[in-house]
Structure 1
Amino acid sequence: MDITQLETFLAIVQERGFSRAALRLRRTQPAVSQTIRKLEEELGEQLFERTSRDGTLTSAGEVLRDYADRLLRLRNEAASAVEELRSLERGRLLLAANEYTCLYLLPVLDQFRRTCPQISVVVQRSLASRIPEDLLTRTVEMGIVSFAPETEQLRSISVYLDEVVFVVNPAHPLAREKKVAIRDLGAQSFIAHNVLSPLRKRVTETFEKHKTPLNMGVQLPSLEAVKRFVAMGNGVALVPGLTVAQEVSRGELVKVEVPELKIERRLRLVHRRHSPLSHAARAFLKLVKTMAQEQGSPFEYRVEHAN
């Protein structure tokens, strides 16, 4: 039993006859009759009363009509749903990010929701180190990370260039300085993010290189907690610039340059290299590229070569 057979069957029912059904379907009457004959053979039941000329149904035909109606409606609904995906009238975008990289997503998602309000967006919080695995196991479709994935199975697009900044409370003595040397920070109490990361390792190595102690007096579980604690007047911190941009602009924190700690962080949008993206994901990528072209640095759109 196939869709064409069911369409032919319903056409006969609706047109009340084989001849009129043939005209509607633009087929010959013998072809219509043959289609019904094959359908009856497959089902092992007669569907139409042979003595009637108006397509009167048998009991088996009455049962099949209900199911045929439902199946064809489902077929039409499925085709309509796929078309809605293509026209971005429905769909879901599933992303993975951590506390830091999610901040890059906010302005992009703001524009995306204005452009595609019917698309459902879910940002799953994940450790950065787990995001490549989440992509490969198809838990999410795209992810934002601050490192280049080490697998050729993932495609990486550089989308934002950030830097590590040294911040203090406005009342801190160093707040009056535009620039300080790393050796001047040996006596400072640093408020640190307690998640081990490549950035933390690089900062530690830089202090060791300059033979300067790195005193992490307090370690907190989130970057939000770190910057709030510093703003309250407790110690100093080294954090990604993106995470404190608003606090610095409002004067709640002061950024002081440390030349030896010039560390750039490139954020990357990552997805499976050999899997087709959903219509929603392609629309999102197009918006990311447009924002980079219109706003310029620190936004960017640069496809990176496979490792």
Structure 2
Amino acid sequence: MEFKQVECFVAVARENSFSKAADVLFLSQPAITSNIQKLERELGMVLFDRNKNITLTKGGVKFFPYAVEILNIRDKAEIAISQHKNNIEGVLEICASTIPEQYLLPHIIKAFKEVYPQVHFSIRHKDSKEVIEGILSGMTNFGFIGAKYSHEGIKYIDFFQDKLVLITSPEKTFATDPISIQSLIGEEIVLREEGSGTRQLIENALKEKKLNLNIFRSQTINYSMEAIKKMVALNVGISFASDVSVKCEVASGRLKQYEVEDLNLNRAFSLVYCNNRYLSPAEEKFKEFVAKWKWDNIDI
């Protein structure tokens, strides 16, 4: 078994495509195919279903986390014997939910690249639940999310304290700020999809008050936070959003913001990773970097 074969396997599994894997690894597609075929012969099993969509077989799913660890251990060994111990390089693949991806992660990546310019990033958007599923399956090692799920081996590093606020169109007015949850009964609301950290926080906060989303007259579901803000600005309904995500719109008058006094809408955004998995040297450095991160003097 050669490292190049394992690299090709991991790339195809992550991209669900032989051609995209070839682009990522700067190889020809025939070279990717040849390496996969050699690996399959050596393992004595087919690793991919080659139908219209390229997907892992059951054997491929079993082999995937070991393949990732093989590559990470190789990287660790190369760094350990390198005379240039500070030469941290490689590609970090990160999955992030909406708010960290759009408003927080760019600042961290900019600062990290100033220290380690040879590290490159591949950022994928997923909701919080999908990020956890990707880490548990071994498809990725890192994620940034706004909700926590209890799973063995999953660890969290909190790096930003957040709160949800109620947002409305400029036309809509509530008599007080903060307002009571009772003031929202019968309102129309625009919500994120199930699986998002924002949606989970709202549902949990209502549950603490023995309430649920049925207090709202109607619900519109949208996967895009930017689209939700636009719909609220057009008075399609009210919504809840991270304070950090609506600063510009509130300052410009395109949205109004209120706090809801009887709902606990505070949360932490976290870096999530699998504690019992080998990480590459670049991943270890990035984890340490986030753990020490401070937001002092940073305009989000």
Tell me the TM-score range normalised by the shorter chain. 0.5 to 0.7
Residue in 2 that maps onto 1:247? 249
- Distance of 1:209 and 1:138 partners within structure 2: 37
SS of equivalent to 2:131: helix
- Distance of 2:287 and 2:145 partners within structure 1: 15
User: Does the CA contact (< 8 Å) of 2:143 and 2:271 recur in 1?
Assistant: yes
The structural deviation recorded for 1:230 is 1.0
- Distance of 1:155 and 1:95 partners within structure 2: 15
| Closer, same or farther: CA 247–85 of 1 in aligned 2, 3 Å | farther
Which of 271, 274, 277 is the matching residue for 1:275?
Answer: 277
Q: Trace 1:63-212 onto structure 2 (pairs within 5 A).
A: 83=82, 86-88=85-87, 90-103=89-102, 104-174=104-174, 177-196=176-195, 197-205=199-207, 209=211
CA-to-partner distance for each residue in 1:136-190, whole Å, 9 max, x for gaps? 332112112223332231222122221121011223223x743221111224221
Q: Trace 1:220-259 onto structure 2 (pairs within 5 A).
A: 220-259=222-261
2:92 maps to a residue whose letter is L
User: Does the CA contact (< 8 Å) of 2:134 and 2:140 recur in 1?
Assistant: yes
User: Does the CA contact (< 8 Å) of 2:94 and 2:140 recur in 1?
Assistant: yes
User: Does the CA contact (< 8 Å) of 1:88 and 1:279 recur in 2?
Assistant: no
Using the size of structure 2 for normalisation, the TM-score is 0.62
1:116 maps to a residue whose letter is Y
| Closer, same or farther: CA 268–85 of 1 in aligned 2, 3 Å | farther
Residue in 2 that maps onto 1:12? none
- Distance of 1:211 and 1:87 partners within structure 2: 52
| Closer, same or farther: CA 81–153 of 1 in aligned 2, 3 Å | closer
- Distance of 1:220 and 1:130 partners within structure 2: 16
Residue in 2 that maps onto 1:295? 296
Which structure's CA Rg is the greater one? 1
SS of equivalent to 2:248: helix
| Closer, same or farther: CA 260–141 of 1 in aligned 2, 3 Å | same
| Closer, same or farther: CA 146–79 of 1 in aligned 2, 3 Å | closer
Kindly tell me the number of residue pairs found equivalent between the two proteins: 219
- Distance of 2:213 and 2:135 partners within structure 1: 40
User: Does the CA contact (< 8 Å) of 2:147 and 2:201 recur in 1?
Assistant: no
User: Does the CA contact (< 8 Å) of 1:195 and 1:221 recur in 2?
Assistant: no
Q: Trace 1:38-49 onto structure 2 (pairs within 5 A).
A: none
SS of equivalent to 2:262: helix
| Closer, same or farther: CA 254–207 of 1 in aligned 2, 3 Å | farther
1:195 maps to a residue whose letter is E
- Distance of 1:145 and 1:79 partners within structure 2: 31
Query: Which is further off, 159-168 or 243-252?
Result: 243-252
| Closer, same or farther: CA 136–86 of 1 in aligned 2, 3 Å | farther
Using the size of structure 1 for normalisation, the TM-score is 0.61
- Distance of 1:121 and 1:85 partners within structure 2: 22
CA-to-partner distance for each residue in 1:38-82, whole Å, 9 max, x for gaps? xxxxxxxxxxxxxxxxxxxxxxxxxxxxxxxxxxxxxxxx96997
The structural deviation recorded for 1:237 is 1.0
| Closer, same or farther: CA 148–194 of 1 in aligned 2, 3 Å | closer
Aligned identity (percent) is 20
- Distance of 2:202 and 2:121 partners within structure 1: 31
| Closer, same or farther: CA 86–215 of 1 in aligned 2, 3 Å | farther
| Closer, same or farther: CA 228–86 of 1 in aligned 2, 3 Å | farther
CA-to-partner distance for each residue in 1:101-159, whole Å, 9 max, x for gaps? 32331221222233322211011222322323322332112112223332231222122
- Distance of 1:160 and 1:112 partners within structure 2: 17
- Distance of 2:178 and 2:264 partners within structure 1: 12
SS of equivalent to 2:151: coil
Structure 2: stretches of 5+ with no match in the other structure: 1-76
